[in-house]
Amino acid sequence: MKKIKVAVALAAASILTLTACGGSGGGTDAESISIVGFAVPETANKAIAKEFNKTPEGEGVTFETSYGASGDQSRAVESGLKADYVHLSVGTDVQRLEKAGLVDPTWDDGDNKGIVSSSVVVLGVREGNPKNIQGWDDLIKPGVGVVTANPASSGAARWNALAAWGSVVKNGGSEEEGKAYLDKLFKNVVTLTNSGRDATTAFLGGTGDVLLAYENEAILAAQQGQGFEYIVPDSTVLIENPGAILKDSSKPSQDWLDFVLDPQGGQKQFALTGFRPVNTAEPGVVDWDAIGLKPEDIKGAKDPADPFPAPKQLLTLENDFGGRDWSGVKEKLFGTGEDGEALGIVTDSIAKSGKASQ
């Protein structure tokens, strides 16, 4: 069995104060909220915090934030990093905190099932699409360099790998064919970054031909003057990011979570920064009236008239992969032994490619 290194070091906390009011640590100051999140939604959460401060519940509340790779952030909180609210990439990273007694078992009982933001996996390409990338089959052609994050540390990378796997096994392919596809895909990977945001940064810096990314990362890059072309593949996955408050969270933390889920509050700001608002009735579909926006309000999207297009096949954890708890695919795709042995299909593909240590 090949070995794969699993990043377990505590994520370096990038601490910011989002408002100028007083206050310090989460869980101690009644008017402060400590947010620990995966790297991708930092800009969205800043925008939400600004709007939250305009509400009676949020007036005077200050924020401390730490952003990094989702798995690293979850392990850091488990090991003592201060947090009132966690916004992570995959449900298993919140489950870790639940098992540690830090998050209440009812965190995912609501209508939203614990999900606070959503997106889809897209394929970022160079200007003019010189490699003529149209879908998943093109990523395994000779000479195509792929950029993605490392599933050992990054939740975004797990969504990317799940979409790649699903494009085969949910379209008539066998598991053996799915394994063969992943072997070829990771053979073409030119860098495995620590987080999804790091992958975007590497691609913008000139690495690779194709970036596996969240749709919102492509939209946000365009909003910041660093846009790149992207394709929504015919088959993709609905990315569902969980959020939860900790048991000993500060006083305003529940009000914050309620605001995050409010269509006219947090969900509106998520949309404006490229995320697809959470829609419990029709996952992945935007209810424009509910969030008080029009399609043209979403700047940086590929098609201003249809910024969040419906994929031909939108796979979901709930309907296609055994449930939102990842139980149907966690060990099968991403399993590792205690000593780092690559036991899962994805981890084995990475180990065989020689990219595990990147």
14 lies in some domain: no
CB 346 within 8 A of CB 159: no
Is the same domain home to 156 and 212? yes
**Residue 16 in this model has a pLDDT that exceeds 60:** no
Higher pLDDT, 245 or 22: 245
Mean pLDDT, residues 286-310 = 96
Residue 293 forms part of a structural domain: yes
Identify the domain containing residue 234 by its residue range. Answer: 119-238+315-353
The count of residues in the chain is 358
Q: Is residue 201 part of a domain?
A: yes
Please report which confidence band the pLDDT of residue 30 belongs to, taking 50, 70 and 90 as the band edges: low
Listed in order, strand segments (DSSP E) in 84-234 are 85-87, 115-125, 146-149, 189-193, 210-214, 229-231
> Distance between CA 59 and CA 52 in Å, rounded?
7
Phi first, then psi, for residue 243 (nearest 5°) are: -140, 145
Structural domain includes residue 48: yes
Write out the two tokens for 281: 């009735």
Q: What is the pLDDT of residues 299-354, one digit of tens each?
A: 999 999 999 999 999 999 999 999 989 999 999 999 988 877 888 999 999 999 99
The band of 280, judged by pLDDT with boundaries at 50, 70 and 90, is confident
Question: Domain holding 246: CATH number?
Answer: 3.40.190.10
If one counts the domains in the chain, the total is 2
**Rounded CA gap, 338 and 262, in Å?**
41
What is the per-residue pLDDT across 211-232, written as a single tens digit (0 to 9) for each? 999 999 999 999 999 989 999 9
Does residue 74 sit in the same domain as residue 99? yes
Regarding whether 129 and 267 lie in a shared domain, the answer is no
- For residue 15, what pLDDT is reported? 40
pTM across the whole model = 0.89
Same-domain status, 197 and 233: yes
Identify whether 170 is part of a domain: yes
Q: Which amino acid is at 71?
A: G
Query: Is the CB of residue 291 less than 8 Å from the CB of residue 268?
Result: yes
Mean pLDDT (the chain, rounded): 91
For residue 113, being part of any structural domain is answered with yes
Helix residue ranges per DSSP H, 273-357 = 288-291, 317-320, 330-334, 345-353
For residues 326 and 200, membership in a common domain is answered with yes
Query: 141 and 129 in one domain?
Result: yes
Distance, CA of 48 to CA of 286 (rounded, Å):
18
Q: Are residues 247 and 331 in the same domain?
A: no
* One domain for residues 325 and 272: no
Q: Is the pLDDT of residue 165 over 50?
A: yes
Is the residue at 20 inside a domain?
Answer: no
183 and 228 belong to one structural domain: yes
Same domain, 262 and 286: yes
Q: Are 161 and 182 in contact (CB under 8 A)?
A: yes
Task: Calculate mean pLDDT across residues 167-177.
Answer: 98
